[in-house]
């Protein structure tokens, strides 16, 4: 039985690209929630951020190259979430997932807010910490003003 055989029995197979602070937290949370999770990072030591309870899979390598080679069972993924520290890598991984494998749920983190709307036009969902944090701060300020 190959390492990916267990996907056959689970309805959601989520690939996370980048096991940094956000990637590791997401992987732990989604895995706890019963999802079949694969997390990829180019550095083996990054997986130390995962909790001991993480029951998903890990793979070391450049995610874009793996996707292009059709590795990691990407064609069976129900979602791909690209959260490395590099906007270009996240966009490339997201575009490969969307264009080559027609994966519906593709999400990329973008540090640069100016690029967010461009990629939304390609059908890629984006999260931009700058915009989200700004919105949160403004709403906290507004609720303080109302006190």
Told to check if 43 binds ligand AMP by CB under 6 A, we report: yes
DSSP code at position 44:
G
Question: Taking the CA of residue 67 as centre, how many other CA atoms within 13 Å lie in the half-sphere pointing to its CB?
Answer: 29
Query: Are the C-beta atoms of residues 46 and 27 closer than 8 Å to each other?
Result: no
Told to check if 20 binds ligand AMP by CB under 6 A, we report: yes
**Binding to ligand AMP, residues 80-99 (CB under 6 A):** 84-86, 89
15, 37, 38, 46: which one contacts ligand AMP (CB under 6 A)?
A: 46
Told to check if 57 binds ligand AMP by CB under 6 A, we report: no
34, with CB counted inside 10 A (0-12, 13-18, 19+), is exposed
Of the pair 43, 135, the CB lying nearest ligand AMP is at: 43
Cα 67 off chain centre by: 14
Residue 77 CB, nearest approach to ligand AMP (Å): 15
Of the pair 8, 130, the CB lying nearest ligand AMP is at: 130
Question: Taking the CA of residue 77 as centre, how many other CA atoms within 13 Å lie in the half-sphere pointing to its CB?
Answer: 29
Is residue 41 helix, strand or coil?
Answer: strand
Of the pair 86, 131, the CB lying nearest ligand AMP is at: 86
Give the binding site for ligand AMP (CB under 6 A).
17-22, 40-43, 46, 62-64, 84-86, 89
């Amino acid at each position: 039985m190959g390492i990916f055989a267990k996907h056959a029995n689970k309805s959601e197979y989520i690939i996370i690209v980048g096991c940094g602070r956000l990637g590791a937290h997401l992987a732990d949370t989604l895995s706890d929630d019963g999802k079949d999770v694969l997390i990829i990072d180019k550095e083996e030591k990054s997986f130390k951020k995962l909790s001991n309870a993480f029951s998903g899979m890990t793979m070391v390598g450049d995610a874009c190259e793996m996707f292009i080679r059709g590795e990691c069972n990407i064609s069976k993924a129900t979602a791909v979430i690209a959260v490395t520290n590099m906007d270009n890598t996240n966009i490339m991984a997201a575009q490969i997932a969307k264009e080559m494998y027609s994966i519906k749920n593709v999400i990329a983190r973008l540090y640069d807010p100016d690029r967010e709307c461009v990629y939304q036009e390609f059908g890629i969902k984006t999260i931009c910490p700058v915009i989200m944090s700004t919105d949160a701060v403004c709403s906290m300020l507004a609720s303080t003003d109302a006190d």
